[in-house]
């Protein structure tokens, strides 16, 4: 199942991508005299909302005009946005960094949340702007001290993410937060694919800048897989429904190039993150 949030009037509405197209769940529900879940967040939070969704998807759909969809973040109100650094061996090597003994965890904040088709305004304070294609895990239920063998039971689904980074700000101190959590630096989308319909541990992942491929890998190359990440993080803090975990990026980022070949991203560039079975996340830089 592929779900998405989109902007409708002054609010957020829930849509689904099926073989027939992008389904307008509100209009479909109205036709049947029913009520649709308000957003992906509601579907994650409440079993009753999931039951409504299943019923609506079984009906003849009312479709949205794809060209006019204004996508919103796949989760509108995550409590936490957690990110993993150096989680592909080839990426650690290209940045001349030893392989970590444990997951390297840092955070983005709510101001970084962005969406498919969104923009990132580049600030004058930074110059070394870089992309990072990442599989993002969407947590489905409260998880505390979860054993690795049960970790996938706590996953609602997966989406594409771009851990957008200002490398000069990231490297200014030992803490990465400022270079990782500037406004709009956490695009996700376009869809969240439910965990029952995809294997997050074996997906092709790629980045394109202005149509040129820059990254190409597979999530089966993660140093710490999805189960290990959930088990490790939940041993320190309680994960909540709707929390996002950016699982790390493969090699091919600009910061891994030889200095003479480092051409940083600039206003006007279009960055696309594509993950097999999920879709292509597009962001334009301003």
- Map out the domains of the chain as residue ranges: 2-68, 81-285
Considering the segment(s) 81-285 as one domain, its CATH architecture is Alpha-Beta Complex (3.90)
For residue 36, what is the enclosing H or E element?
none
Within the chain, strands assigned E span 2-8, 11-18, 21-24, 81-85, 104-108, 113-115, 118-120, 129-130, 133-139, 155-162, 165-166, 186-194, 204-209, 212-218, 244-246, 270-275, 279-285
More confident residue, 224 or 96: 224
What's the pLDDT score for residue 161?
98
Give the relative orientation of helices 25-32 and 47-57 as an angle to the nearest 10 degrees. Answer: 80
What's the pLDDT score for residue 116?
98
Compute the mean pLDDT over every residue in the chain, rounded to the nearest whole number.
Answer: 96
Residues 143-201: tens digit of each pLDDT: 999 999 999 999 999 999 999 999 999 999 999 999 999 999 999 999 999 999 999 99
What's the pLDDT score for residue 92?
86
Output the CA–CA distances (angstroms, integers) from residue 68 to 29, 54, 65, 76, 269, in the order listed: 20, 25, 6, 20, 22
For residue 93, what is the enclosing H or E element?
helix 89-94
Q: Are 3 and 191 in contact (CB under 8 A)?
A: yes
Distance CA(227)–CA(257), nearest Å, equals 31
Average pLDDT over residues 250-275: 97
Residues 209-219: tens digit of each pLDDT: 999 999 999 99
What's the pLDDT score for residue 93?
86
Residue 117, number of CB atoms within 10 A of its CB: 17
What's the pLDDT score for residue 253?
97
What's the pLDDT score for residue 95?
86
What's the pLDDT score for residue 146?
98
What's the pLDDT score for residue 210?
98
Half-sphere exposure of 35 (CA within 13 A, CB side): 6
Q: Place 21 in a pLDDT band, splitting at 50, 70 and 90.
A: very high
**Of 242, 241, 249, which is closest to residue 223 (Cα–Cα)?**
249
Average pLDDT over residues 11-37: 96
Q: Is the pLDDT of residue 203 over 90?
A: yes
- pTM summary value: 0.97
Q: Is the pLDDT of residue 97 over 90?
A: no
What's the pLDDT score for residue 96?
85
Distance CA(255)–CA(88), nearest Å, equals 15
* Structure tokens belonging to residue 62: 């009312």
């Amino acid at each position: 199942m592929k779900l998405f949030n989109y902007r409708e009037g002054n609010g957020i509405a829930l849509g689904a991508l099926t073989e027939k197209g992008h389904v307008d769940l509100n209009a479909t529900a109205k036709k049947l005299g029913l009520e649709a879940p308000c957003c992906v967040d509601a579907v994650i939070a409440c079993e009753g909302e999931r039951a409504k969704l299943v019923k609506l998807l079984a009906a003849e759909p009312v479709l949205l005009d794809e060209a006019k969809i204004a996508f919103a973040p796949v989760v509108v109100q995550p409590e936490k946005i957690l990110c993993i650094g150096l989680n592909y061996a080839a990426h650690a090597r290209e940045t001349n960094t030893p392989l970590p003994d444990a997951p390297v965890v840092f955070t983005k904040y709510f101001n970084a949340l962005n969406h498919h088709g969104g923009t990132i305004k580049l600030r004058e304070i930074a110059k070394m702007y870089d992309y990072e294609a990442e599989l993002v895990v969407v947590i489905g239920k409260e998880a505390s001290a979860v054993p690795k063998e049960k970790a996938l039971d706590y996953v609602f689904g997966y989406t594409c993410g771009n851990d957008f980074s200002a490398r000069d700000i990231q490297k200014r101190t030992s803490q990465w937060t400022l270079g990782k959590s500037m406004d709009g630096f956490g695009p996700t989308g376009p869809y969240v694919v439910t965990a029952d319909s995809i294997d997050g541990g074996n997906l092709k992942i790629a980045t394109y800048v202005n149509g040129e491929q820059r990254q190409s890998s597979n999530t089966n190359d993660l140093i710490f897989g999805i189960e290990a990440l959930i088990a490790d993080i939940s041993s320190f803090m309680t994960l909540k429904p709707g929390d996002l975990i950016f699982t790390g990026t493969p090699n091919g980022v600009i910061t891994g190039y030889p200095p003479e070949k480092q051409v940083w991203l600039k206003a006007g560039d279009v960055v696309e993150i594509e993950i097999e079975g999920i879709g292509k996340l597009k962001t334009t830089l301003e």
